[in-house]
């Protein structure tokens, strides 16, 4: 597969409004979006570093993967997302190599990206997301 | 401060040789370096994603911060490193804003970068490293 770079880091937070000021005001990163991604059970504030984004992730409800992560591990870096040229090719290569994905097909993530997560047990403990950028501009809510 | 992008993600691993193949052979990332950074108590393999690096971090001994992290949390993403234009300006701004750093001055990290870590308790649980690229090429071992 062809990896194009670190697309973003996902950070699990209890409350976006408590955590955004560090990234925004102390580090001076530009906030480039806010989005609710129902498929993933999260709302997110997105900050651009210039090379890669920081996405703060707050759970929409108790069934959200972020709520479960916070219960188990507390707030912190939840995953790293790598941009791929083609998600379908990437998923096929993962399966061919017996790398376990979470779900068999891509779903839709923030900013309309086509995404899939790789199970941490096959990556050495890291939750890795792969994401293909959508061809057309995704309309933000 | 001026942030220039995500420089790398640091991943705590028990054993680099067990974990490198996922990043190298499955994802197809180029390994761009291997280094022992005694100041930080780690050895590292560095993989370039095209935008930002993945650094696998193995403890040099039991006193290494990575050994302590593995004991407490297990393997996974240890920190995110943001490249800054000027580390001295960045440290001053952090102090002016009562953001707690680990140590008062920068030290030397992998690839000769001037680095400082920000304490997770002032970032919402994320260990954030700031790093200024050295002007001259750092000689690798």
Task: Report the C-alpha gap between B95 and B121 in whole angstroms.
Answer: 15
Range scoring the smallest mean pLDDT among A23-27, A125-129, B106-110: B106-110
Q: How many domains does chain B have?
A: 1
In-domain check, residue A76: yes
- Beta strand segments in B27-133, E: 30-37, 42-48, 53-59, 76-84, 101-108, 114-118, 128-132
In-domain check, residue A140: no
Of B49, B73, B82, the CB nearest to A3: B49
Q: Structural domain of residue B36, as residue ranges?
A: 3-132
Q: Does the distance separating the beta carbons of B26 and A125 come in below 8 Å? A: no
Predicted local distance difference test score (pLDDT) of residue A43: 96
Predicted local distance difference test score (pLDDT) of residue A40: 87
In-domain check, residue A50: yes
What's the pLDDT tens digit per position in B76-88? 999 999 999 999 9
Tokens, residue A7: 């697309």
**Is pLDDT at A141 greater than 60 in this prediction?**
no
The interface predicted TM-score (ipTM) is 0.92
- Number of helices (H), then strands (E), belonging to chain B: the values are 3, 8
Q: Does the distance separating the beta carbons of B75 and A5 come in below 8 Å? A: no
What's the pLDDT tens digit per position in B95-107? 999 999 999 999 9
Residues of chain A contacting B1 with CB distance shorter than 8 Å:
27-28
Model confidence at B141, pLDDT cuts 50, 70, 90, reads very low
Q: Does the distance separating the beta carbons of B93 and A26 come in below 8 Å? A: yes
Give how far A136 is from chain B: nearest CA, Å: 22
Query: Measuring CA to CA, which residue among A126, A137, A7 is closest to residue B55?
Result: A126
Q: Does the distance separating the beta carbons of B6 and A9 come in below 8 Å? A: yes
In-domain check, residue A25: yes
Tallying the residues shown for chain A, one arrives at: 141
In-domain check, residue A141: no
**Structure pTM?**
0.93
Query: Nearest chain B Cα to A22, which residue?
Result: B123
Predicted local distance difference test score (pLDDT) of residue B91: 97
Of B11, B79, B99, the CB nearest to A126: B11
**Is pLDDT at A136 greater than 80 in this prediction?**
no
In-domain check, residue B138: no
Mutate to test the interface with A, among B1, B5, B6 (most CBs of A within 10 A): B6
Q: Does the distance separating the beta carbons of A50 and B51 come in below 8 Å? A: no
What's the pLDDT tens digit per position in A105-123? 999 988 899 999 999 999 9
Give how far A58 is from chain B: nearest CA, Å: 12
Tell me, what CATH number does A57's domain have?
Answer: 3.10.180.10
* Mean pLDDT score of chain B: 94
Model confidence at B39, pLDDT cuts 50, 70, 90, reads confident
Tell me the pairing of strands A101-108 and B30-37: unpaired
H helix or E strand, kind and range, residue B73: helix B65-73
In-domain check, residue A101: yes
| Mean pLDDT to the nearest integer, B32-41 | 92
**Is pLDDT at B70 greater than 50 in this prediction?**
yes
Residues of chain A contacting B24 with CB distance shorter than 8 Å:
none
Q: Is the dihedral of CA B125, B87, B64, A10 positive or negative?
A: positive
In-domain check, residue B53: yes
Q: Does the distance separating the beta carbons of A97 and B26 come in below 8 Å? A: yes
């Amino acid at each position: 597969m062809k990896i194009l770079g670190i697309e973003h880091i996902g950070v699990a937070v209890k409350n976006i409004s408590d955590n955004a000021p560090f990234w925004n005001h102390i580090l001076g990163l530009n906030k480039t979006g806010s989005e609710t991604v129902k498929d993933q059970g999260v709302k997110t504030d997105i900050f651009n570093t210039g090379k890669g984004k920081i996405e703060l992730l707050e759970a929409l409800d108790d069934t959200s993967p972020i709520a479960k992560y916070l219960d188990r591990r507390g707030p912190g870096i939840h995953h790293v997302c790598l941009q791929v040229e083609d998600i379908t090719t990437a998923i096929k290569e993962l399966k061919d190599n017996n790398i376990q994905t979470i779900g068999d097909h891509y779903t839709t993530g923030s900013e309309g990206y086509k995404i899939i997560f790789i199970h941490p047990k096959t990556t050495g403990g890291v939750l890795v997301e792969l994401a293909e950028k959508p061809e057309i501009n995704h309309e933000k809510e």
